[in-house]
């Protein structure tokens, strides 16, 4: 198989910089990371200096995603030799257990990490990911609530909790999570749109009125949000019987016209 450097006529420095760019962008192009990273590790490890360790980690995670357990294990062994006892390396070991579907072993490992360092957010999130992978949404919700008691400002966790509540059809609690997100990030049109969808699903005139308002707010923040445009038209058939019939009809007409223009 041709080397990446020969195939694309790039230097090892360019390959290193590409790996850094993918890290900064949090790209999940696992196949490319494995191809470029494996060549860097095999051919240029001595030239990479301290960058080699972050590349080992990056390649290992991509290798797990790409089904290259042999490469993942090699990277993990190198990291263990360099950083024995590191919680970060232990977490990578847990991720390999997850890829092998050894979920109990992974959870035991994460529990040991948390016993030594209760503030280790990465280990907590891996436990939650396992519960979700096992389809144990109730346990994942419990773990997330415990996590948010300590790290209330984690927006990603609030959104994940909202999604879990939606999956469990607990729309009241999902709405609460989305309200928390909108308070901290009021200019995010996606939060407004999702909150409107939850209120629409809950039903009842009061919730539908709120739904219409938040679909409108989502459109104000991003007038190309198609779900919010369709949401506005979906609210109209019920709300047309209220006193604000003309307003709702006009809004629905506008939304339909906007959809036609976009498409």
Coil, strand or helix at 79: helix
What is the Cα–Cα distance from 147 to 259, expressed in whole angstroms? Answer: 41
Instruction: Give the mean pLDDT of 205-219.
Output: 92
Instruction: Give the mean pLDDT of 202-231.
Output: 91
The predicted pLDDT at position 4 comes to 76
Tell me the pLDDT tens digit for each residue of 87-120.
Answer: 999 999 999 999 999 999 999 999 999 999 999 9
Closest by CA position to 76, among listed 104, 96, 47 = 96
Closest by CA position to 91, among listed 51, 52, 64 = 64
DSSP per residue over 30-47, as a string?
HHHHHHHHHHHHHHHGGG
Could you tell me the pLDDT band of residue 239, with boundaries at 50, 70 and 90?
low
pTM for the full model? 0.79
Could you tell me the pLDDT band of residue 182, with boundaries at 50, 70 and 90?
very high
pLDDT of residue 225 exceeding 50, the answer is yes
- What secondary structure letter does DSSP report for 47? G
The predicted pLDDT at position 55 comes to 98
Tell me the pLDDT tens digit for each residue of 20-73.
Answer: 999 999 988 999 999 999 999 999 999 999 999 999 999 999 999 999 999 999
Sign for the pseudo-dihedral over CA of 249, 250, 256, 260:
positive
Tell me the pLDDT tens digit for each residue of 141-174.
Answer: 999 999 999 999 999 999 999 999 999 999 999 9
Could you tell me the pLDDT band of residue 257, with boundaries at 50, 70 and 90?
very low
User: Which of 5-9, 14-18, 200-204 shows the lowest mean pLDDT across its residues?
Assistant: 5-9
User: Which of 1-10, 121-130, 162-171, 247-256 shows the lowest mean pLDDT across its residues?
Assistant: 247-256
Q: Which residue has the higher pLDDT, 237 or 11?
A: 11
The predicted pLDDT at position 250 comes to 47
Measure CA of the first residue to CA of the last residue in the chain; give whole Å. 45
Could you tell me the pLDDT band of residue 197, with boundaries at 50, 70 and 90?
very high
């Amino acid at each position: 198989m041709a080397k990446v450097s020969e195939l694309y006529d790039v230097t090892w420095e360019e390959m290193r910089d590409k790996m850094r760019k993918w890290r900064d962008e949090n790209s999940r192009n696992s196949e490319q990371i494995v191809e470029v990273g494996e060549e860097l590790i095999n051919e240029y490890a001595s030239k990479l200096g301290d960058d080699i360790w972050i590349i080992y980690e990056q390649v290992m995670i991509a290798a797990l995603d790409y089904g290259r357990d042999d490469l993942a294990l090699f990277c993990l062994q190198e990291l263990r030799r360099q950083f024995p006892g590191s919680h970060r390396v232990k977490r990578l070991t847990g991720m390999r257990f997850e890829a092998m579907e050894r979920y109990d072993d992974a959870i035991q490992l994460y529990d040991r990490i948390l016993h030594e360092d209760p503030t280790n957010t990465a280990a907590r999130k891996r436990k939650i990911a396992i519960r979700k992978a096992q389809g144990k949404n109730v346990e994942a919700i419990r773990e997330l609530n415990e996590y948010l008691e300590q790290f209330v400002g984690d927006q990603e966790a609030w959104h994940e909790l909202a999604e879990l509540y939606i999956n469990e059809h607990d729309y009241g609690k999902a709405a609460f999570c989305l309200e928390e997100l909108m308070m901290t990030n009021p200019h995010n049109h996606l939060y407004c749109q999702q909150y409107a969808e939850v209120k629409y699903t809950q039903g009842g005139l009061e919730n539908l009125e709120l739904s219409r308002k938040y679909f409108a707010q989502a459109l104000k923040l991003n007038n190309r949000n198609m779900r919010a445009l369709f949401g506005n038209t979906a609210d109209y058939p019920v709300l047309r019987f209220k006193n604000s019939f003309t307003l709702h009809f006009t809004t629905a007409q506008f939304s339909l016209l906007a959809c036609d223009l976009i498409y």
